[in-house]
């Protein structure tokens, strides 16, 4: 096991002592150590529920014979950062997230990783970090927000943006704008629409880094908790079989993700992120590939969310 570097032999007595300070016992240290990278925070609707998903993931890891140890990364809400100086920060945060994943994983000699993430820059940042360290890894994303309903009309965050224009154009009153504001985002999850967050969640699934359904099961659905347990169990199988991210993310899987993106009509930001992911995987990828796939792949669905 990779973790033997920090827990086996006489020379590692100080290391074991530190693990035991966490409350771990020898039987837990005898198992593979699984890092759980979680971007939970109270800043973003797509992240505020990730702690519950993390508990389910850790339960799955334990059921399959591993010892989970959780740590956190940062996360920025592009929606809240939009329209002011804060929008300079999200893309930079992607690199910080990838860097943090790399340094924590290498420093603590995990045998495998489970990545729990949601939203625009966090998802690709974690994929980039996973490809750098290249140990057995699996992802589960937070899931999309349900749509809101106002006066019988289905709506999303996009509706709030549109309503600002409608108000400025004299089409609705300020009171109506306030009503839309109240109903557009009804609860937890990544913003209801094929914006970058839900697009990248689907790309992660299309590349083979998450179990089926991870990209689309709503955030509030109990199926996501069950999937989280299965995800925790599956990392132990990946370790057993020695399957690593670079075995999964290759030219074929990236092209498959691009094809899915075009068919869904996903965010054009996927171009930016998939090229960064391909770079970490040492897979050549140019804009020409996106153009070629776009020309032969029909747009099949109109999703909201």
Ranges of each domain in the chain: 31-146+187-296, 147-186
Please write the tens of the pLDDT for every residue from 66-119. 999 999 999 999 999 999 999 999 999 999 999 999 999 999 999 999 999 999
Give this prediction's pTM: 0.96
In the predicted structure, residue 11 carries a pLDDT above the cut 80: yes
Measure the CA–CA gap between 134 and 139, rounded to whole angstroms.
13
- HSE of 232, CA atoms in CB hemisphere, 13 A: 27
pLDDT band at 239 (very low <50, low <70, confident <90, very high): very high
Of 147-151, 219-223, 243-247, the one with minimum mean pLDDT is: 147-151
pLDDT at 301: 86
Look at residue 304 in the predicted model and tell me its pLDDT.
Answer: 67
What value does the mean pLDDT take over residues 125-153?
Answer: 96
- HEC assignment per residue over the chain: CCCHHHHCCHHHHHHHHHHHHCCCCHHHHCCCEEEEEECCCCCCCCCCCHHHHHHHHHHHHHHCCCEEEEEECCCCCHHHHCCCHHHHCHHHHHHHHHHHHHHHHHHHCCCEEEEEECCCCHHHHHHHHHHHHCCCEEEEECCECCCEEECCEEECHHHHHHHHHHHHCCCCCHHHHHHHHHHCCCCCCECCCCCHHHHHHHHHHHHCCECCCCCCCCCCCHHHHHHHHHHHHHHHHHHHHCCCHHHHCCHHHHHHHHHHHHHHCCCCHHHHHHHHHHHHCCCCCCHHHHHHHHHHCCCCCCCCC
CATH superfamily membership of 31-146+187-296: Response regulator (3.40.50.2300)
Mean pLDDT along residues 203-212: 98
The phi and psi torsions of 155 (rounded to 5 degrees) equal: -150, 170
Note if the bond before 139 is cis, omega within 30 degrees: no
Q: What is the pLDDT of residue 170?
A: 95
- Model pLDDT, residue 302: 80
Q: Is the pLDDT of residue 223 over 70?
A: yes
Statement: residue 305 has pLDDT above 70: no
Rounded mean pLDDT of 33-60?
Answer: 98
């Amino acid at each position: 096991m990779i973790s033997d570097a920090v827990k086996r032999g006489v020379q590692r007595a100080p290391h074991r002592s530190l693990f035991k300070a966490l409350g771990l016992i020898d039987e837990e240290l005898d198992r593979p150590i699984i890092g759980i990278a979680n971007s939970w925070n109270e800043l973003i609707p797509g992240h505020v529920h990730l702690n519950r998903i993390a508990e389910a993931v850790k339960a799955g890891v334990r059921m399959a014979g591993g010892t989970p140890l959780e740590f956190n990364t940062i996360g920025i809400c592009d929606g809240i950062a939009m329209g002011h100086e804060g929008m300079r920060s999200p893309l930079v945060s992607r690199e910080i997230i990838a860097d943090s994943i790399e340094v924590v994983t290498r420093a603590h000699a995990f045998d495998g990783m489970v990545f729990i993430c949601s939203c625009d820059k966090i998802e690709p940042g974690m994929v980039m970090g996973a490809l750098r360290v290249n140990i057995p890894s699996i992802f589960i994303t937070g899931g999309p927000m349900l749509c809101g309903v106002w006066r019988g009309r289905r709506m999303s965050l996009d509706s709030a943006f549109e309503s600002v224009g409608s108000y400025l154009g004299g089409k609705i009153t300020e009171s109506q704008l306030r009503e839309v504001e109240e109903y557009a985002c009804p609860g937890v999850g990544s913003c209801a629409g094929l914006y970058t967050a839900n697009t990248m969640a689907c790309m992660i699934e299309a590349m083979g880094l998450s179990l089926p359904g991870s990209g689309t099961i709503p955030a509030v659905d109990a199926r996501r908790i069950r999937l989280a347990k299965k995800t925790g169990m599956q990392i132990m199988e990946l370790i057993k079989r020695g399957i690593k991210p670079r075995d999964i993310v290759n030219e074929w899987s990236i092209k498959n993700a691009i094809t899915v993106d075009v068919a869904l009509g996903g965010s054009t930001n996927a171009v930016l992120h998939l090229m960064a992911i391909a770079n970490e995987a040492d897979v050549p990828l140019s804009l020409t590939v996106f153009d070629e796939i776009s020309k032969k792949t029909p747009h099949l669905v109109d999703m909201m969310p």
